[in-house]
Amino acid sequence: MRILVILPAFLPVEDIKKTVNQIMPGIEIRTNMDFEKDDAEVVVITTFTQFGKNEIDKFPNLKFLQVSSTGYNNVDVKYLKSRNIILSNIPRANKDAVAEHVIAMVLAFLKNLIFFDREIRNGNWPVLTNSTELNGKIFGIIGMGAIGIKLVQRLIPFGPGIIYYDVKRLPAEDEELYGLIYMELDDVIKSSDILSIHLPLTEGTLNLFDDKHFSMMKDNAIFINTSRGEIMDENALVKAIKTKNIFAGIDVYSKEPPDFSSELFKLGNVIFSPHIAGATIESQQRFLQETIGNLIKYTQGLDPLYQIKEEL
């Protein structure tokens, strides 16, 4: 069975080759798709490789596509399903990393760390502080999947009130266990001092955060997006930052790298990171381990884990 792995060139490809070949010798690893056809039955990609109809058609024998990431909006799922190709992702490997990244951004805002760092570097010594505590704040989470749950678990010791919205409400026993309050989407947005987004990119979530939803947020609230850039309207976010003094922690962008001439990058009240919330040394090791485990399952005739059933 021929297996082809396609990785972005910025990853430590040679190290990954050594690890993979120790467990499953003979797997080819490439950093591009500069070919017309390939007879691979199994292909592994990351979220950084577009895999639409043109790419899928390069593999006439393809039976199983493994996306070694949580998101898979780079894949033409509908066309893949029309060819009866199995699709799996790795939805849990980066949940700890993303949860910690969200909390880091939130604390940086609440403790005013960027301002203090800048002032001291400029030779100033602020006497007063407007730092606040996470304890007692209302923390809203939009999307209560694996990452949302992990974020809740990390937040509990800090003592905020936690409210959430998801298209699929959690069982009552889970809400009681974690002290969660379920609300409709608009009510979560209106009530939250801090709002963190953990949604997949679908037709229903595209530009979900537009002028209407940003206008519902409290003045001075914190907005964190570590999911997908296309979920928010960038112009609407810029307007909210300017008119409502919204603070924003942004890890994802509709185009990556983004357009650095955008007004967004000229504003204060914003912390940026380069789509690395889920990319820690530990999470990358878990992605690799779970990907290899799924390949072994498939080659042994077993059903791979985390199969995607729905169409985006």
Which active-site residues does the annotation give?
Answer: 228, 256, 275
Sheet containing 86-88: which strands, arranged edge to edge?
Answer: 28-30, 3-6, 42-45, 64-67, 86-88
Q: Cα 133 to chain center, whole Å?
A: 26
Phi, psi (degrees; rounded to nearest 5) at 14:
-65, -40
Structure tokens at 246: 């919204």
- CB 158, CB 134: distance < 8 Å: yes
Q: Cα 140 to chain center, whole Å?
A: 17
What is the Cα–Cα distance from 169 to 149, expressed in whole angstroms? 12
What is the Cα–Cα distance from 133 to 164, expressed in whole angstroms? 20
